[in-house]
Chains A and B, each alone.
Chain A
Amino acid sequence: MHLVGVSHPIQDARGKAAGRTRYAADLVLPRMAHVAMVFSTVPHGYVTSVDASQALALEGVYGVFHCFNTPEYRFNRYRSQYSQTLIPEEPVFARRVRFVGDRVAAVAARDLETARRAAALVQVEYQPLPCALTFEQALEGINCLEGESPIRDEFTMEIGTPPSLEEGLIAVTAHTELGRLHHAAMEPHVCVADYDPDLDELTLRSPNQSVHGIRTVVADMLGMPYSRVRVVKTTMGGSFGSKQEWTVEPVAAVVARQLRRPVKLVYDRAAVMRSIVCRGPMRAEMTMRFQPDGTLVSLDLDLLSDAGGYIANSSDYVHTLVGKMFRCYRIPYGRTHVRLVSSNTPVSGSFRGWSSPEVALMLEHTMEKAARVLDMDPVQLRLKNVLLPGERDPKSGLPMEEVRTRECLLLGAERFCWTEKRREDAAFNAASPRFRRGTAVACGGHGNTYYPRYNDFAGVEMRMCEDGSVQVEVSIHDHGCGTGMAFQMIVAEALELPIQQIRLKEADTAHTPFDFGCYASRGTFVVGRAAQLCALKLRDEILNVAAQKLDTTPDRLYFDGPSVRSKDSPEITLSYKDVSWYALGTLCRELTAQEKHAVRSNPGVTGTHFAHVEVDTWTGLTRVLDYLAVHDIGQSINPEMCAAQVQGAVQMGCGAALREEIEISSNGQSTCSLAKYHLMNAPDLPDIQVELIQDGRSQEGPYGAKSIGEVSFVPAAPAVAAAVNQALGSDMGRIPMTPDRIMETIAKEGR
């Protein structure tokens, strides 16, 4: 391999460095109106009137749209496949508002400033309803109207066979409670919509994770033929799951159609934080039972989750969570009881890892406690219980294939100087009256596709140009981590062409083949594999055409770089260009290939992280001193980008463990400013080390690749949280471990 496995700057790095790359907010269309939103100021209630007269009186205001003057358009923000039968629970403009930040009205004007000024002049009256802002209030059902139940979903799932004898087993129980997280993609949510009334065609441009998902939702909502709704994915300034939920697109679509002109809707940071989606809160009690030697025998999880204002994906999210429990450790028997409530708070939904990071916080917290109870070294305890090659995921039944968690643990412990660090910490803590240090490890697993929960496939088309360069049509949704470059590398590798000879644009329902979208870490594993197979098919096609030109059979020909040679006449060399010309000029057809790939596996993919922290017991502040992330990635396509993504996940995990939380005040207002929601910045973080273990290749991924984007986030917060508990000798399960919570723990436990 000459390209795959060699680091390359991503396809648009130059444009981004120059400030030339266009994001959706940079787009300008002729006659374009700017849209500003009016959001609910009460957590629960009915909108009784909307008075837009003052807003409409402003010069340059084109219209104000709300539930009293617009057809009742409803949709489900989470629907991403035509076949999903989800209730369209969410109106574009709410009459019953369900949280502070729910959409009430949209104002369109000639410029953003006018739109915002007009939005502030819209008078909305509410008839308040009782609201639930906490788990307790939601469980009581104080926000339920007649016929509504406080428990929106409840199930028990058992996997494996229960241990025959409980006797002699050591049970360890841990409580974990997770707060709400903001994705904090630096680019806010945007949609530019354009409606052509003569053709009845709607075009939506937005940074999103599934153009076909949006198409199905918007076309069904508006009753338009799918073929008349075009969705284009724009350059994305980060997502982390937040652009997997359609929130701005339905609004922009409705306003553009009502106004019969292009519109641009840009949410500001406050709106993104409050009104789009957050990682929802969870409360868990987990019990693990071990044999005295540390072998895990069974696991019980009792989980309470809050969907927020709308159910959206929360029901699916918690169902998925159960499956994610079995992707790292050998758990002969697991029993889960889950309840889902709905409160009047921001909507919970997709977040990087889709419940794997949440379940890892629960598993690793319990594991950590178990190591103490069993008096075992945390690395040794994990080595005893991690899944090994040859074993299966008991939930899906699929083989874990060449999983390398064990190797990650061993390599990481050595590189991180695990034993020495733990010994030094103990000495440091004994001598320091103020600071406490802790070193901890955490493992976590994820998937590479949602198969076998649903069938998963991808299609790719390729055509060779007259000069032998190649155009690829594939619905990729690059989040900013260089999927585009990874795909160019995969295709260039297969065709033995230089990268610059491959052109590939992002998803556009008008041009690129059907695809489910970039989520569930399926991008490289599923779509990338389809691209590789399509390239190989194009190669066969090249040989077929070359054989016709040379009046021989393909098996008498072979590739020598990007050219075809004959086994029989060594002097003959045909370039791709020669073959392409022959196809076009003589055979009267284009050199093309079309291929699909339906997935049949979902191998184990895991990460093992090591964190070293120092807690200031006088202030409760925690510093991350040192960090190592080891990942079982199979073949990495673009290694330095993988490392950069892992480091980003660690940045996010450190924040999630120590400080990031959207809080809800007693009037239902939620944190909606980065001044109050603290991300880790450059001085907060150490030089994060990354090791990639690349010999645990997958059978199906391109060149043996497995996923990285989501799994890298899974063990991060658990490792940091465990290091804090190790430093303090505490058992905090409330995440994030903010300075206040740390001081409270110290006061309570007298450390």
Chain B
Amino acid sequence: MKLDFFVNEEAVTLETQPQRRLLDILREDLGLTGTKEGCSEGECGACTVLLDDLAVHSCLTLAAQLQGRRVTTIEGLEKNGELDILQRCFVEEIAIQCGFCTTGMIMSAKALLLQNPHPTPEEIRTALSGNLCRCSGYVQIVKAVSRAADEMGGRV
């Protein structure tokens, strides 16, 4: 199939199979390796990206679902060499260890803040329930998202 869609605000046209996973399109066809594969079945959240501002598992999203839609990956957050506030807060709050969950975690947090710019710690924990981190106890991650929400003050 011919696929026309947007990745990180750029128009992309690809010849692909309808059942090709978004994760493979990003990592293999477009070289966007910031999106990670941890389980291939929607359980770990490492592959999370935004599809029209909603968090989805790119391992479960197929090319056929992408026509005309907007995909945002971790690579799309940094603007002019400046990390997004969320990314910066993850760094500064020491919320990053091995980093394999980090990009998916940040994308889920991004989706949350787009919906709910002032989440409580409980709401943050719920929004991140599909993202597994084996290195931490989620404490710094929750703090990083809280702080990012504060710093953004409602502007995401």
What residues make up the interface of A, taking CB atoms closer than 8 Å to B?
7, 9-10, 12-23, 25-26, 111-113, 183-188, 235-238, 240, 268-269, 479-482, 640-641, 644-648, 650-652, 673-675, 679, 681-683, 685, 687-688
Contacts and interface: CB of A to CB of B under 8 A. Distances in A.
Max chain B Cβ within 10 angstroms of own Cβ: one of A187, A482, A644: A644
Interface string B1-45: 000000000000000000000001001100011111111110110
A139 B116 CA distance: 58
Contacts of A187: 36, 38, 98, 100
A237 B99 contact: yes
Contact of A18 (B35, B44, B87, B126): B87
B125 interface: yes
Contacts of A22: 33
B58 interface: no
Interface string B35-79: 111111101101000000000000000000000000001110110
A112 B24 CA distance: 10
B39 A269 contact: yes
21 contacts: A9-B92, A19-B34, A19-B73, A21-B99, A25-B37, A183-B134, A186-B36, A187-B38, A235-B99, A236-B98, A479-B98, A641-B94, A645-B135, A648-B134, A651-B133, A681-B128, A681-B129, A683-B122, A683-B129, A685-B137, A687-B121
Contacts of B38: 186-188, 269
Contacts of A236: 98
B107 to A, nearest CB: 9
Contacts of B87: 17-18
A480 B99 contact: yes
B106 to A, nearest CB: 7
A587 B127 CA distance: 62
B101 interface: yes
Given A13-B91, A685-B137, A269 B33 contact: no
Contacts of B131: 681-682
Nearest to A655: B134
B111 interface: no
A674 B137 contact: no
A481 B96 CA distance: 8
B41 A673 contact: yes
B97 interface: yes
Given A9-B94, A186-B46, A644-B94, A238 B134 contact: yes
Given A17-B88, A19-B74, A269 B40 contact: yes
B149 interface: no
Nearest to A688: B137
A681 B35 CA distance: 20
Nearest to A639: B94
Interface in B80-110: 83, 87-88, 90-92, 94-103, 106
A651 B138 contact: yes
Interface string B113-156: 00000000110111011111111111111100000000000000
B33 A482 contact: no
A263 B155 CA distance: 46
Nearest to A21: B99
Contacts of B27: 26
Contacts of A7: 94
Contacts of A641: 94, 97
B97 A644 contact: yes
A215 B105 CA distance: 35
Q: Which of B27, B131, B136 has the most C-beta atoms of chain A within 10 angstroms of its own C-beta?
A: B136
A481 B39 CA distance: 22
Nearest to B143: A687
Contacts of B37: 25, 188
